[in-house]
Amino acid sequence: MTPADDPSEDNLAASGEDGLVASVLARYGVPPGWVVVGPGDDAAVLDLQEAGRPGVGGLVVSTDTLVEGQDFRRGWADGHDVGVKSAAQNFADVAAMGAVPRALVVSLAAPADLPTAWARALADGLAEECRRAGAVVVGGDVSRAGEIVVTGTALGMLEGVAPVRRDGARAGDVVALAGGTGSAAAGLALLEAGVLETGVLETGVLETGVLQAGVLQAGPGEQLARLVQGQLRPQPPYPAGPAAARAGATSMIDVSDGLIRDAARLAVDSGAVLDLEPAALTPSGALYRAAQWLADAGCDVDPDLPRRWVLTGGEDHALLATFPLQAPLPDGFRAIGRVHAPATGEPPGVRLAGVPWTGPTGWRHFSTP
């Protein structure tokens, strides 16, 4: 019996995403010199021009998967939505390394009875987000499956900058954020509560109940509609990634699993503490409005929900970075905290207003319901 067949082994729910990744990476051995950044960061960086001499420049590669029922539902999202989201989550990882998105390869596995129109709409969404990112689709594959699975592999280029890793944050650095957090999580909560069926959004709606891009109308439901769009079709701040690299960012990450969770990843990899300032993370009026709508709809809502969306909600794909204290923050970034050395006996992690964070952190594959 091999270890992989041993019934006493923990399952994925027990080991968790981080435990799974750590155990897998241990099997790959030491990468060759032309692998500038290997597995474990937002994306890999390959120096293909001068193999064996890591340097400034190189190819950045990342991959992400969307699974029907886990990452989207056809009752909420049409093919166009899924195409935009697939491209966005892949290119966000490329930007988080300081690179410029250039190309995307996409694999579609789907049931045989999937309408061809859905697949064509997927291609339209991919093309739309590629245009926004300044990239193109260069290939892919199709296969049969029991549910829709879309896997994208993004390629980007480091243009005159070194890759920005997760492990470079140092005491004294400023913690800064490009983009916002909380909108996608609020949008998901609204979708789960049936907001599409109420007509409150006052916006163009497809027959499938999915919002069309660019048709948000003025009215009481506009803020809620924008939150739902944030879940269905996120818009990462791609230019902020290369700008951060040029400005001397010491570390950076795509906020996909929640601000606290991804800040903790930077902190642990850097052996530091990221102390976030609550005043810089005040929920928007739209988030409070969403929470009120959920309460009015009969959902169990606590007063802290908007703040929890900001701190632990994922899928907005903001960019979280650290910068030397004297470095001017590039356009699009705002300061939200500072980096400190851990106190005696304190593990690397996240503080909020000086207090170590012990609450929920964000999304965890295999364990988050």
pLDDT (tens digit, 9 = 90+) per residue, 194-220? 998 887 875 443 233 333 333 334 445
Q: What are phi and psi of 77, to 5 degrees?
A: -115, 130
Q: How confident is the model at residue 37 (pLDDT cuts 50, 70, 90)?
A: confident
| pTM listed for this prediction | 0.82
Q: What is the mean pLDDT of residues 68-83?
A: 94
The predicted structure's pLDDT at residue 89? 96
Domain boundaries, the chain: 60-158, 174-356
d(CA 213, CA 63): 25
The predicted structure's pLDDT at residue 65? 95
d(CA 99, CA 122): 25
The predicted structure's pLDDT at residue 27? 57
User: Tokens 């340097």, residue?
Assistant: 55
Distance of CA 6 to the CA centre of its chain: 34
d(CA 256, CA 364): 11
CATH entry, 174-356, from 3.40.50.1000, 3.90.650.10, 3.40.50.970, 3.40.50.720:
3.90.650.10
Grouping H, G, I as helix, E, B as strand and the rest as coil, residue 99 is coil
* Domains 60-158 and 174-356 in one fold: no
Distance of CA 345 to the CA centre of its chain: 31
The predicted structure's pLDDT at residue 276? 98
Q: What is the mean pLDDT of residues 279-305?
A: 94
Q: What are phi and psi of 281, to 5 degrees?
A: -125, 35
The structure tokens listed for 184 are: 């996608």
CA triplet 237, 88, 86: central angle to 5 degrees? 170
Q: What percent of the chain has pLDDT over 70?
A: 78
Residues whose CB falls within 8 Å of the CB of residue 11, separated by 6 or more in sequence, listed in order:
none
The structure tokens listed for 87 are: 């491209």
Least confident of 46-55, 148-157, 188-197: 46-55
Least confident of 56-60, 117-121, 125-129, 291-295: 56-60
The predicted structure's pLDDT at residue 105? 85
| Per-residue pLDDT at 6 exceeds 70 | no
CATH entry, 60-158, from 3.30.1330.10, 3.40.1030.10, 3.90.105.10, 3.20.20.140:
3.30.1330.10
Q: What is the mean pLDDT of residues 227-248?
A: 97
Average pLDDT, the chain: 84
Q: Are 245 and 296 in contact, with CB atoms under 8 Å apart? A: no
H/E element, 147: none
- The residue among 90, 106, 85, 91 whose CA lies nearest residue 234 is 85
Grouping H, G, I as helix, E, B as strand and the rest as coil, residue 253 is strand
pLDDT in tens, 116-153: 989 889 999 999 999 999 988 877 788 889 999 999 99
CA triplet 168, 153, 69: central angle to 5 degrees? 105
Distance of CA 284 to the CA centre of its chain: 20
The predicted structure's pLDDT at residue 218? 40
d(CA 190, CA 291): 9
Q: What is the mean pLDDT of residues 237-249?
A: 98
Q: What is the mean pLDDT of residues 169-195?
A: 96
Q: Are 152 and 104 in contact, with CB atoms under 8 Å apart? A: yes
